[in-house]
Each structure stands twice: as C-alpha cells, then as structure tokens.
Amino acid sequence: MKAMILAAGRGERLRPHTDITPKPLIQVGKHRLIEYHLLNLAKAGIKDVVINISWLADQIRETLGDGSNYSLSITYTDEGEEALETAGGIINAMPHLGDKPFIVINGDIWCDYDLTRLINRCSEHEAHLVLVNNPEHNAAGDFAIEQGLIKNTGEKKLTYSGIGIYTPGFFADTNPGKKALAPILRKKSELNKVSGELYDGQWIDIGTIERLAQLRSYLS
C-alpha cells in the first residue's frame, strides 16, 4: 500500500513562521511536523510515500530527500506556484499512487492514530475516513456516522481528521485541476460510498499559531 501526504499549502494563518519555512517543516518537539507522519507510515509498514509540494517546495525536497532516512521511498509532485488544493493535488499525483487503495494524510495535523488500522479498510467502499470529536474551532463538525457509513447529516456530526484511505475509483469521475476534497466527499457520501470510524485519541489541527503552541505544549 502507498500513502500520500498533502503538503502544498501556504499556511497563511501560521505566518510569519511560514514566510520562510513551509508548514510541514515546522519543528514541533523532537521532529518536524511532517516527520511524525513519515515515521508513523514507516511503522505501519508503508514503503512508498507521495508528497505534493508548492510553497517553498525546494526546502521540503532538500530536507526530506529520497525518504531513506525514514526507511521510505518518497516521490514528490510539484504543483508550481499555485497549489491545486486537496482533491486537485491527489488527482495530480494519481500516476504515482497506483491502482490500489492508498492512505491520504493532511500534512498540517498531528495525531497518534495507529495507521495499521487503515490497512484493507476499502474492500467495500470507495473511501474510509477517520473522524474525531469536534474541537472548539470546528464545533459543528463535518460528517456523521450511521451504521459505519459517512453521512452529511445526523444528530452527532464529527470532524474529519484529515486521515483516510481512498480507492482510485473515488476520483475516477473528477477532472484534474484545482479542487477541494470536501464537495467530492459529500457527493460520494450521499451515494453510501464512504465508510468511517470515530477515533477518540489525541488529534490537533495545526492551523493557527495558537494551536501550534498547544501541540508544542502537549509534546513537551
């Protein structure tokens, strides 16, 4: 199984940190933010990782190299000056992801989820999402889970963690270009093609300076 880390974003809300350092390379505790994902993927037995890059792309290439320092093989997909957003970045990387289900992780989160749990989760559906309890900054949630399926409505909506597994077929009817992932997930969910689970462990979305400080405090 292969994996992709979404790492092309500008990180506007983390400025001035991200003016000179791409968000995935921000130091948090013992490692850079993206290194936690790389180490967790290697621990789960993943060997091949695709990373999409845009803002300060050369820094990411130079820092992570070919992945051998993490017992991985890294392929980069450079999106140029304007990132393609989440779905657009994945579709652009499809030639490197193969014809089997693959893991996708947002590069700007930290989570202690055991990625081995995702292996072979897409046998009956086009995608499987890991949801978490709603943080203060997303109190309304994103999706509900009913009988193991992701739903757009429900009594208790949860937050998409930015961790999931997708089949190539999930993106088969979506054209290349700059596109967000959320609208596609909602469309597929209406067709009962997305399963999900709740993870109640540690998870932080590193979207602001305040939440970056929260993670640093937790890891210390």
Per-residue model confidence as pLDDT tens digits over 130-179: 999 999 999 999 999 999 999 999 889 999 999 999 999 999 989 989 99
Q: What is the pLDDT of residues 2-51, one digit of tens each?
A: 999 999 987 777 787 778 888 999 899 899 999 999 999 999 999 999 99
For the residues 176-203, what does the mean pLDDT come to?
A: 95
SS3 for 186?
Answer: helix
CA 63 to the chain's CA centroid: 20
Q: HSE-up of 149 (CA within 13 Å, CB side)?
A: 15
The DSSP secondary-structure symbol of 9 reads -
| Domains along the chain with CATH numbers | 2-219 (3.90.550.10)
Q: Which of 163, 140, 166, 164 is nearest to 153 (CA)?
A: 140
Answer for the pair 104, 90: CB distance below 8 angstroms, yes or no: yes
Residue pair 89/6 in contact by the 8 Å Cβ criterion? yes
- What predicted TM-score, i.e. pTM, was given to this entire model? 0.94
Q: How far apart are CA 200 and CA 189, in angstroms?
A: 22
Q: What is the mean pLDDT of the chain?
A: 93
Q: DSSP state, 134? A: P
Q: What is the SS3 assignment for 111?
A: strand
Amino acid at 122: C
Query: How many Cα atoms within 13 Å fall on the side-chain side of residue 95?
Result: 5
For the chain, the distance separating the N- and C-terminal CA atoms, rounded to the nearest angstrom, is 33
CB hemisphere CA count around 134 (13 angstroms): 12
The dihedral sign for the CA sequence 102, 200, 145, 161: negative
Predicted pLDDT of residue 12 = 75
- DSSP helix/strand/coil, 172: coil
DSSP 54: -
Specify the pLDDT at position 161: 97
